[in-house]
Amino acid sequence: MVADIILGISMGWSIEFTARRRCMIQLSKLSRGLVILVVIFIFVGLTACREQPPEVSVTPHQVIIAFACRDHERTYYEQLAEAFHKTHPSITVQIVSSDAVTGGDWDNGLRKLAAATDTFAFWRAPEPEEFRQGFLHDLQPFIETDENFQPDDFYPGLLELFRWGGNTWGLPAQIQPILVFYDKAAFDAAGLPYPQPGWTFEAFEAAARDLTVRQGGEITRYGLVVIPGDAAAALVLARAKGWAEGETALPTPILDSQTVADAAHWFVNLAHVQGAMPDPSQFEKGQTPFDLVRDGKAAMWIDHLSADNLATYRNLYDLGIAPLPEGTAIPEWVWASGYMMSASTTQPQASWQWLSFLTHQHVGKEKELPPARRTVAAAIGYWDELNEEQAVAYRYILESPKVSLPPGMVEGLAEALDAVLKEKQSVEETLAEAQERVITALNISVAQATPQPVTTAEPPETTEVSITYCTIAYPLYRYHELAAAFHELHPEITVSVVRPEDFSFEYRAEACDCLDYFIIGQFHRSEERELLLNLQPLVDADPVFPDDFYPGLLDTCRWEDELWALPAYVDFKVVFYNKDLFDKADVAYPQPGWNLDDFLEKAVLLTGGEGRDKVYGYMPLLSGMYDFDFFVEQKGGYEKYGEVEAITGLAPLDASAVVNAVRWYTDLALVYGVMPRFRIADEFSRGREITERRYGLIADGRVAMWTDYPIHTHGPPLGFQVGMAPLPLEHGPMRLHRIVGYMISAHASHPEACWEWLKFLIGQPEALRGALTRQSFLEKPQFLEQVEGDALATYLFNLEHIDPVPWRGNTWLHQAFDAIMDGTSVEEAVGEALSKDSAFHACLDRSSELQEEEHIRACREEVEQ
């Protein structure tokens, strides 16, 4: 049940586990010195299934080297560091956080990592200016003298991704081939054979045309969709064939050649002339090619291989996989992250042994990604786990000869193609400009920097205490900084801040010493309380525990007068408004304490225009489902329910009031026209696309009021003044909130250290992500500097009216809303919802030998039959 609730919450608060090419978390800077303080202990041993490289000789003295990786990868590398130490007992690898080192400044990330660590994993190969500036250690001498390294064990072309000018600046880590994904059902319906390795461009182009579906002059399915970036460049380079037979490396870029220009024209014409590929210049604001794939409007699409992509595409299609069509050779059809060594390391030999060891491992959770080495693939049985189609496609790509391209050429071509497609610029002129930029980058004269030696922290004394803190918060660097500040106050305690890939409460409570997590009423379950330490005895025994928490927040953390968490932060859904539109219409700004009549009056006054010029008085930005439930509750559509009811079942409907409550909200769209029509089911299936389009309306000045959570960022800053106000209340308290609490695991090895850490956190305004939790924060400039007047008034009003019982909607009523939007009468749609709601609660009231969650699931299935 908690997982179901988290799924609902995630619609409103997207916890990003980064997709490298679509987004990068924006973090602030962290000094090199802080990294040394964030010392990470080694956890469990490496599983025996991985093949180990041949043991190499070690130096007679103890050596410590630092290795940086992303926080979500740390567990894997800790296991590997322990396994490495067993075969290299004189070398200790200290794992540090690359998120903390870079502070989210990924543009300068490689330089910062090279300055702060001996070795590190990085998400891409280095750019020319980076290896020219002397940040990195050339690995070629190690490769040539280490008989055990076996460079020919890598698949063809992978090492070349990290080579330039006779030097090797990194080693392949994780690789992601670029593939053609396709819908087998679309090929079957068109009577076309499935793509096979080695297929021609003529067959590829014909398939793109034949698979395109048009209805009434509108394209309902494209034969081909190309995800922007490397995928588009790979396709064009594959067609260009601007190299001689047997050539394995291009010494200079060829973007201004006639062969590349011809291939670019061919690519652009697929969209602008043939209509077999979408024309991005015709997209609505916020729309992307990926949206078309997700909406089932693509027969073929080109993208990188990843576990997330495979899972998404398999849910949408009868998925097929094939290599790109090709000519004489494959031009870098893979993307690779790499392992690199700092030029300033004082332990180059030990660092090399560690990096060489890493290349013999299959790291991370994405087990469907092919290893970079043949021997690793064989050792883990990689090929045996794939279906035949995958194995054939992957082997073809990995084993084929590849042409290594000059650094920056793929990126330069990708930018040029994007400009030609979107802005319809001249192909030849755009490619010539791209060629000039790439050549300039390659020839840039940069003085060799004098690398500063890396100082690696000694392991902590055995008398020190180390605790692991698991967080769901972003940005993560903030907690690394707080952990460093805490260590200065408590040098006997080291806090390791992590964000595990497993998001579940149960996993984190088991795996971490202390944690922060959503408070969603889970404390009523004894099996979940057993995972946590009861904090009430610690509070009672602590003479300096603060007494200025807002009462409603503490109530959310209690169960039967026992405290199970400390309030970390709270985020209320609020009303944002366009002050310029209010001023133009001479409408007063909303104020704390306004009601539903005030809301409707302002929405009507602010609505105007028609078609593309229409301005809406109100719109839910992130999820209309939450707004619908909130307003229905404020109109009395739900019976009162307690904390246990909120977790164990749907919010019960009040038959006497729910029809009028639902009518009030649906009339906003159907009668008054102040809100765009939407369907809740569409928000689940196409949530990202819908949110982006709504944000486009807001950015264009076509929405006067919209609801969202203050911590969200959906796009560039808006070009007008934005105000904030609480949601209007009328029939109940504020339940539309998300509260996060600090907790201590019942399995914590040092609970007293966790308690000191949590007490430290609750006093830090820097840890807040939303409203303040303590009254004393009103006196702290760190908080007041971040909060403007109307935001502070909004927070204070919501804190005064908060209800500890979490929000809970009603599935049957959500179905009724969609039916009303589709034309069903309010009475009929709500009547059906009431019937299902009554049957569901009657089923819950019947005794059952099933466990609680199984009983709830069985009752839902019974009602839906």
Q: What is the pLDDT of residue 781?
A: 67
Evaluate if residue 32 carries a pLDDT over 50: no
* 490 pLDDT tier (thresholds 50, 70, 90): very high
Segment 529-533 shows an average pLDDT of 93
179's CB contacts (< 8 A; 6+ apart) are 302, 303, 304, 305, 321, 322, 323, 324, 393, 397
Report the pLDDT value the prediction gives residue 448, as an integer from 0 to 100: 41
End-to-end CA distance of the chain: 21
What local confidence, expressed as pLDDT, does residue 328 receive?
A: 56
Query: Which pLDDT does position 29 carry in this prediction?
Result: 30
pLDDT above 90 (res 731): no
pLDDT at 353 over 90: yes
Average of per-residue pLDDT across 76-104: 91
Q: Which 3-state string (H, E, C) describes 312-323?
A: HHHHHCCEEEEC
Q: What is the pLDDT of residue 481?
A: 87
Q: Give the pLDDT confidence of 837-857 residue by residue, as tens digits.
A: 899 888 888 866 656 677 888
pLDDT surpasses 80 at 249: no
Structure-token pair, residue 807: 């929000």
Lowest mean pLDDT among 95-99, 248-252, 818-822: 248-252
**Greater pLDDT, 640 or 539:** 539
- Alpha-carbon distance 135 to 114, whole Å? 6
Q: Between the ranges 15-24, 110-119, 825-834, where is the mean pLDDT highest?
A: 825-834
* Average pLDDT along the chain: 84
Question: What tens digit of pLDDT does each residue of 63-76 get?
Answer: 999 999 988 888 88
What mean pLDDT do residues 759-779 have?
A: 80
Q: What is the pLDDT of residue 577?
A: 97
**Best-predicted range by mean pLDDT (28-42, 311-325, 616-630, 733-747):** 616-630
In terms of Cβ atoms closer than 10 Å to its own Cβ (0-12, 13-18, 19+), residue 31 is middle
User: In the chain, pLDDT over 70 holds for what percent of residues?
Assistant: 84
pLDDT band at residue 290 under the 50/70/90 scheme? confident
Is residue 672 a contact partner of residue 277, using CB atoms and an 8 Å limit? no
Q: Specify the pTM.
A: 0.64
Residue of higher predicted confidence among 687 and 714:
687
Contact 102, 37 (CB under 8 A): no
- pLDDT higher than 60, residue 416: yes
pLDDT at res. 217: 82
**What pLDDT shows up at residue 644?**
59
Percent of the chain at pLDDT > 90 equals 48
Residue 813's pLDDT is: 94
Q: Which region among 295-304, 452-461, 562-571 has the lowest average model confidence (pLDDT)?
A: 452-461
Q: What is the pLDDT of residues 380-396, one digit of tens each?
A: 999 998 999 999 999 99
Whether the predicted pLDDT of 725 surpasses 70: yes
Answer whether residue 446 shows pLDDT above 50. Answer: no
Tokens 């006196």 sit on residue: 779
User: What is residue 371's predicted lDDT score, i.e. its pLDDT?
Assistant: 93
What average pLDDT does the segment 141-165 reach?
Answer: 92
Mean of pLDDT values over 332-359 = 92
172 with 363: CB under 8 angstroms?
no
Map tokens 């296991």 to a residue: 79
Asked if pLDDT for residue 123 goes beyond 60, the answer is yes
Residue where the block lists tokens 């005895």: 537
Task: Write down all domains in the chain, each with its CATH number in brackets.
Answer: 26-175+335-399 (3.40.190.10), 177-330+408-441 (3.40.190.10), 465-572+742-800 (3.40.190.10), 587-737+806-864 (3.40.190.10)
Mean pLDDT is lowest, of 93-107, 127-141, 235-249, 522-536, for 235-249
What pLDDT score does 706 carry? 98
Task: Point out the least confidently predicted range of 63-72, 251-260, 442-451, 818-827.
Answer: 442-451
Phi-psi region of 823 (alpha: psi -120 to 50; beta: other; left: phi over 0): left
Report how far apart, in Å, the C-alpha atoms of 381 and of each of 53, 273, 334, 386, 395 are. 17, 46, 21, 10, 14
**pLDDT for the residue 576:** 96
Under 8 Å CB-to-CB from 845, ≥6 apart: which residues? none
* pLDDT for 56: 40
Residue 34 has pLDDT above 70, yes or no: no
**What is the reported pLDDT for 14?**
34
> Number of H helices and number of E strands within the chain?
36, 22
Instruction: Decide which of 188 and 511 is more confident.
Output: 188
